Amino acid sequence: MLTAFARAFKTPDLRKKLLFTLGIMVLFRLGAHVPVPGVDYQNVQTCMDQAKSGLGLFGLVNMFSGGALLQITIFALGIMPYITASIILQLLTVVIPRLEALKKEGQSGQAKITQYTRYLTVALAILQGTGLVATARSGALFGNCTVGNQIVPNQSIFTTATMVITMTAGTALIMWLGELITDRGIGNGMSILMFTSIAATFPSGLWGIKLQGKLMGGWLEFALVIICGLAMVALVVFVEQAQRRIPVQYAKRMIGRRSYGGTSTYIPLKVNQAGVIPVIFASSLLYIPALLVQFTGSKSGWANWVNANLVKGDHPIYMVTYFLLIVFFAFFYVAISFNPEEVADNMKKYGGFIPGIRAGRPTAEYLSYVLNRITWPGSLYLGLIALVPTVALVTLNANQNFPFGGTSILIIVGVGLETVKQIESQLQQRNYEGFLR
């Protein structure tokens, strides 16, 4: 593999793309350490030192921002507004006929949807930035931090507006950097930046487990986490690459004196067709009750029940609810992202058919049947992977920054596989052996 790396860097245009991507990644990480104007950086660091037991409700967003959220930097919101906007537009495409028509228009329609995604990203960044500033001003960002209400000393309207505008501009800059990587670098830009944010938290998370360990100076727990992480990576690679290939045969057609069709291909249905989206949906939905309790300050019976059962990740009710929500959202997202009737109609239009299955409605019913069958193991796999950090909290007494968490490992492996495939394809075009031997 090291030889393949050397060959990739020996190719002039590919070397430029790799160096350009690495440069954007470095710039992205530098921006994650520049504080927002109006924030007392010393008090932020004091609260970070006191938050040894975890990051509470903001753990997921903090992970996607590479730790920039709780440090309240210019990239504090990270890539999350863009991810949220993309998911919202994808869901609305199924509901709004205008968006569905744009999606079918090809490249021009997709460009229009991308423009809508940018506008929605900026709007969500303003909303999330305002919420983050309000939470920081109230002292609720770090829970029981002794100087939590002194993070933003000057609470004037001008200072608040400056902080929100700065973080919104940071999100817009991240979006632009991601598009630059897509156009001039290697891989999908937004995925690469997400990969960078999550990978940046790994060293501190692993070292924190070593410091908290009690056996052999913490090195035994450290080694167990590394072994567990490698096993999870192998499992995720195996399942993410697994697919059910449905054979498709195209009949021969005579157009003039030429014969078209008569080829055989297949429809690849992945076992994990939904990707990491169900885990994000389930995590976000479980945060809502705890956020309501935190912002309302209610002491009623329902608030006490939420604090007792849905705030601590190691509670059995939380674990069971989290698992069931992931399974539900896996089926839900697959249902809206893959339309068997549309695929069957397109196959029939171009003279394609599945051997042994009649074209039209029987083909759609067969595709739906196969999709439901393979979604079950995919959803159960997602639920089990997502519960690994919770098990680590109980068995290893690790903090909530456990590096090999379900969401983080799925994104790391998924983006890594896609990027390697792109480098591999470009090397093969230049008659090299490829990235992987």
**CA nearest to 248, candidates 146, 166, 85, 367:** 367
**What CA–CA distance (Å, rounded) separates 437 from 420?**
12
Half-sphere exposure for 330 (CA within 13 Å, toward CB): 28
Sorted by where each begins, the domain ranges of the chain are 1-195, 242-402
What are the distances in angstroms from CA 252 to CA 261, 344, 353?
5, 18, 12
Tell me which DSSP letter residue 399 carries.
-
How many CB atoms are located within 10 Å of the residue 332 CB?
A: 16
The sheet that has 264-270: what strands, in order across it? 264-270, 243-250, 352-353
pLDDT at 169: 93
pLDDT at 58: 63
26: which strand partners?
Answer: none
At residue 313 the predicted structure's pLDDT band, cuts being 50, 70 and 90, is low
- Higher model confidence: residue 46 or residue 244? 244
CB 181 within 8 A of CB 192: yes
Task: Say yes or no to pLDDT of 46 above 60.
Answer: yes
**What CA–CA distance (Å, rounded) separates 94 from 257?**
42
How buried is 113 (Cβ within 10 angstroms: 0-12 exposed, 13-18 middle, 19+ buried)? Answer: middle
- Higher model confidence: residue 31 or residue 147? 31
What are the distances in angstroms from CA 121 to CA 33, 66, 89, 114, 172?
22, 19, 11, 10, 8
**1-195 with 242-402: one CATH topology?**
yes
DSSP 106-173: THHHHHHHHHHHHHHHHHHHHHHHHHHHHHHHHT-TTSS-TTGGGSSS---HHHHHHHHHHHHHHHHH
At residue 53 the predicted structure's pLDDT band, cuts being 50, 70 and 90, is very low
Task: Say yes or no to pLDDT of 332 above 50.
Answer: yes
The residue type of 335 is A
Give the architecture (CATH level 2) of 1-195: Orthogonal Bundle (1.10)
Task: Say yes or no to pLDDT of 56 above 60.
Answer: no
Per residue in 82-93, pLDDT (tens digit) is 888 888 888 888
**What CA–CA distance (Å, rounded) separates 148 from 82?**
29
**What CA–CA distance (Å, rounded) separates 391 from 319?**
10
Task: Say yes or no to pLDDT of 401 above 70.
Answer: no
Q: Which of 201-215, 311-325, 357-371 has the lowest mean pLDDT?
A: 201-215
**CA nearest to 388, candidates 288, 306, 279, 281:** 279
Provide mean pLDDT across the span 183-195.
Answer: 86
Task: Say yes or no to pLDDT of 315 above 50.
Answer: yes
Task: Say yes or no to pLDDT of 138 above 60.
Answer: yes
At residue 121 the predicted structure's pLDDT band, cuts being 50, 70 and 90, is very high
pLDDT at 312: 63
Q: Which helix (H) or strand (E) holds 396?
A: none
**What CA–CA distance (Å, rounded) separates 72 from 38?**
10
Tell me which DSSP letter residue 386 carries.
H
- Look over the chain and give the mean of its residue pLDDT values, rounded to a whole number: 80
Per residue in 8-42, pLDDT (tens digit) is 777 788 888 888 999 999 999 888 888 888 888 88
258: which strand partners?
Answer: 255
Measure the CA dihedral 90/240/68/322, to 10°: 80
Provide mean pLDDT across the span 153-170.
Answer: 88
Half-sphere exposure for 157 (CA within 13 Å, toward CB): 0
How many CB atoms are located within 10 Å of the residue 107 CB?
A: 7
pLDDT at 173: 93
Provide mean pLDDT across the span 274-278.
Answer: 82
Provide mean pLDDT across the span 299-317.
Answer: 73
- Higher model confidence: residue 74 or residue 304? 74
Tell me if residue 356 falls in helix, strand or coil: coil
What percentage of the chain carries pLDDT values higher than 90?
A: 11
**What CA–CA distance (Å, rounded) separates 294 from 288?**
10
Task: Say yes or no to pLDDT of 432 above 60.
Answer: no
- Higher model confidence: residue 432 or residue 370? 370
Task: Say yes or no to pLDDT of 379 above 80.
Answer: yes
- Higher model confidence: residue 60 or residue 227? 227
Tell me if residue 300 falls in helix, strand or coil: coil
How many CB atoms are located within 10 Å of the residue 256 CB?
A: 6
244: which strand partners?
Answer: 269
What values do phi and psi take at 265, rounded to 5?
-145, -165
- Residues listed for the chain: 437
**What CA–CA distance (Å, rounded) separates 155 from 61?**
24
At residue 431 the predicted structure's pLDDT band, cuts being 50, 70 and 90, is low
**CA nearest to 59, candidates 407, 388, 428:** 407
CB 73 within 8 A of CB 34: yes
Per residue in 238-269, pLDDT (tens digit) is 888 888 888 888 777 666 666 665 678 888 88
Task: Say yes or no to pLDDT of 304 above 60.
Answer: yes
**What CA–CA distance (Å, rounded) separates 380 from 143?**
33
What percentage of the chain carries pLDDT values higher than 70?
A: 81
Q: Could you confirm whether domain 242-402 is CATH 1.20.1600.10?
A: no
What values do phi and psi take at 353, rounded to 5?
-155, 155
**What CA–CA distance (Å, rounded) separates 133 from 152?**
8
- Higher model confidence: residue 352 or residue 401? 352
CB 354 within 8 A of CB 248: yes
Greatest alpha-carbon pair distance for the chain in Å reads 83
pLDDT at 3: 59
